Structure 1
Amino acid sequence: MLNCLIIGSGISGLSTALALRKAGHAATVYEAYPEPSDGVGGFLTLAVNGFDALETLGLKNAARRLGFSTPRMSMYLGSTGRHLADFNYGGTLPDGTTARTMTRSELYALLRNEAVERGARIEYGKRLQAVEEGSDGVTARFDDDTIASGHLLIGADGLRSAVRPLIAPSSPQPRSIPLLNTGGIVPAGRGPALDVESGRMKMVFGKRCFYCYMPDPDGRIWWFANPLQRSSGNAAELDAPALKNWLTGLVSGDRTPMAAIIEATYGIITRT
């Protein structure tokens, strides 16, 4: 049995811990933040290959209870409203599973709870500072002056990885691109009437911004937008009212209800 150290307790780190436990290995996950990330993040759409991956961890059926089915999408031009295309989002598995849209925190909670239930340990407030390799394994040093030793260290700590520069200092560094990702969820009964049914994503090439919106079966509206960064200042640093005003201006000339959707959103969920 291997003693495995996993850096990062997000979706990938927890999935790795589950896979290692299934294979009979010990897994400890070290997270830099001081507490679990319940309620953190926006939403995602899990395609059917993602459900296949979860099936290997024994979590496919549990994940099918999260979110709502979104098996279809349509493309439009925002300036004219012209319909461009319809297609399926990744097909359907033999058991009827389709792509599903869910909050990141729903999937995170499922993976975290199962990882702990199956014997993985998660330690918070552990920011990696150094890695030392030896003949019998690896030692991780954290900024709280603690250490952990194991046979294998796995970096699952995302784009701004602390692991990558320590074990592969010559590897390419992430670079910024001038594209913002933002989105939100409008409560049921608060948003405008939509021109798309539940289960279908309406994606729009707007005059000044690409965006998508879709209703869920309960009447909420889920949306995201990918505007180019502003030439003056970082849009990701705007507060919610200023960001909403800026986004509304970008989509207000399109023949869609997107401006009203943004206005009806209580807060912006994501800005990366």
Structure 2
Amino acid sequence: MTRVRTVAVIGGGIAGPVAALALRKAGIEATVYESHPTTADGVGGTIAIAPNGMAALDIVGAAAPAAEVSWPVHRQVMTVGRKRLDLPGLAGAGPLHVVQRSDLYRILAADVPIQYGKRLVNAVQGAGGVTAAFADGDEIEADVLIGADGVHSTVRRLIDPAAPGPHFTGMVAMEGRSPLTVPEEPGTMIFAFGKRGFYLYGPALGGGTTFGVNLPHRPLTVAEARAIPSPRWKETLLEVYGSDTPGGDLIRALPAEELTVNGALHIMPPVPHWYRGRMVLTGDAVHAPSNSSGQGASLSIESAIELAQCLRDIPDVTDAFRHYESLRRARVEKVAARAARTNSVKAPGPIGRALMPIIMRAFMRFAMNPEKVIGPEQRYRIDWAKTL
């Protein structure tokens, strides 16, 4: 039976280049097609990579360079008003690594061919492959097409026109590096539930304080959010977080032009069909949990690598895709369900605010058993050497 020789990967974010790296490691030719006209150098905010994600990156040789440019978080603390709770970690699991998106993009893109300005508009499947058509008029052929094109995936629609789309969480993400210094030891991240919204912060490498907010807001695209002048966003942030300590002070000290607007936060509901014929989904295109999970990027990295492993070891494409889904679906949906419970208290309405003390007591009991709650997530390891 003919094995897969060529793969077209749609999407140059995180999952796409990781899939291409893993496929090339497996001896399969892979090219990434990215809709944006240029690289992501200097674009975007930060992402967190959990220990399982770093272990997966190590398979494609990206863990060490990612660690070199990251902020390792060894201690996590949750605050609600004046209440402060140290969140116990997993013994021996390793730290959370916070890294700039642009730095991770640069690392991942260094060793894979990426064509920019390639917005997919259609894909036609034949008996032995897929023909992909782009908005610029170009067409390419490959044995398999992978959709790693994010929550607004074109490939997901091509696989199943009735597939669900992303759900808006009710929050817009922003971040910055404030010159204000907070009295926390290096490697600490604080998850703070303020009076009207959630934010996080911690000592920045080189001084100052890195902070991020999940601002309760109407839905906006990234383009719409970034079109709003930074001073106006700063005013809005102060309306929500201005009376919080230290949230308000961090925002007041931040020059407005240094505020990074990341856009609306979305989650993906369960997707009925992960593949059809010779097209398959990976990363946020098929599973995007709330950022409350701390696992979004890590799950995308894992899925991309395990998809490549299935294509490496299982000659029949349908069987490979079926096995890939069986490896991944239960895991990613369990993480998404856990994150959804946490996410429900990030942008509470009037009833939610009244119930916050009860909700947070339950959350604290939940968080005090990390081995049961996040152990299966963070201790997950892919055995690349194993033949499936």
TM-score normalised by the chain length of structure 2: 0.62
- Whether 1:152 and 2:144 are equivalent positions in the alignment is yes
Deviation, structure 1 residue 195: 2.8
The 5-angstrom pairing of residues 95-114 of structure 1 reads 97-114=94-111
Structure 2: gaps spanning 5 or more residues: 264-388
Partners of 2:181 and 2:203 within 8 A in 1? no
Deviation, structure 1 residue 45: 1.7
Question: What is the alpha-carbon distance in structure 1 between the residues aligned to residue 181 and residue 116 of structure 2?
Answer: 44
Cα 1:230/1:151, change in 2 over 3 Å: closer
Bigger shift: 58-67 or 156-165?
58-67
Cα 1:75/1:23, change in 2 over 3 Å: same
Structure 2 residue aligned with 1:180, among 167, 172, 175? 172
What residue number does 1:198 align with? 186
Question: What is the alpha-carbon distance in structure 2 between the residues aligned to residue 76 and residue 135 of structure 1?
Answer: 57
Question: What is the alpha-carbon distance in structure 2 between the residues aligned to residue 106 and residue 164 of structure 1?
Answer: 28
Partners of 1:48 and 1:90 within 8 A in 2? no
Cα 1:220/1:112, change in 2 over 3 Å: farther
Partners of 1:35 and 1:124 within 8 A in 2? yes
Question: What is the alpha-carbon distance in structure 2 between the residues aligned to residue 183 and residue 90 of structure 1?
Answer: 27
Partners of 2:76 and 2:188 within 8 A in 1? yes
What residue number does 2:246 align with? 257
Deviation, structure 1 residue 88: 4.3
Q: Deviations over 1:85-131 (max 9, x none)?
A: 212455544xxx4222111111111101133xxxxx21111110110
Structure 1: gaps spanning 5 or more residues: 116-120
What residue number does 2:197 align with? 209
Q: Deviations over 1:16-63 (max 9, x none)?
A: 000000000000111111111111110012111111101111222222
Partners of 2:11 and 2:33 within 8 A in 1? yes
Q: Deviations over 1:217-241 (max 9, x none)?
A: 411311111121169xx99353210
Cα 1:212/1:242, change in 2 over 3 Å: same
Which has a greater percent of strand? Answer: 1
Cα 1:249/1:42, change in 2 over 3 Å: same
Partners of 1:192 and 1:257 within 8 A in 2? no
Which 4+ runs in 1 deviate beyond 6 A?
none
Task: Report the residue type matching 1:87 in the other structure.
Answer: L
Question: What is the alpha-carbon distance in structure 1 between the residues aligned to residue 20 and residue 116 of structure 2?
Answer: 15
Cα 1:88/1:39, change in 2 over 3 Å: farther
Cα 1:54/1:27, change in 2 over 3 Å: same
The 5-angstrom pairing of residues 227-266 of structure 1 reads 227-229=215-217, 236=225, 238-254=228-244, 256-266=245-255
Which has a greater percent of helix? Answer: 2
- Whether 1:73 and 2:76 are equivalent positions in the alignment is yes
What residue number does 2:83 align with? 82
Deviation, structure 1 residue 264: 2.6
Partners of 1:201 and 1:213 within 8 A in 2? yes
Bigger shift: 129-138 or 98-107?
98-107
Bigger shift: 60-69 or 122-131?
60-69
What residue number does 2:366 align with? none
Cα 1:99/1:179, change in 2 over 3 Å: same
Q: Give 3-state SS (helix, strand or coil) of 1:179's partner.
A: strand
Percent sequence identity is 36
Cα 1:131/1:91, change in 2 over 3 Å: farther
Partners of 1:89 and 1:99 within 8 A in 2? no
TM-score normalised by the chain length of structure 1: 0.87
Partners of 1:90 and 1:99 within 8 A in 2? no
Count matched residues: 254
Q: Deviations over 1:195-252 (max 9, x none)?
A: 3221111111100111011012411311111121169xx9935321011111112112
Question: What is the alpha-carbon distance in structure 1 between the residues aligned to residue 59 and residue 44 of structure 2?
Answer: 25
Cα 1:63/1:4, change in 2 over 3 Å: same
Partners of 2:181 and 2:207 within 8 A in 1? no
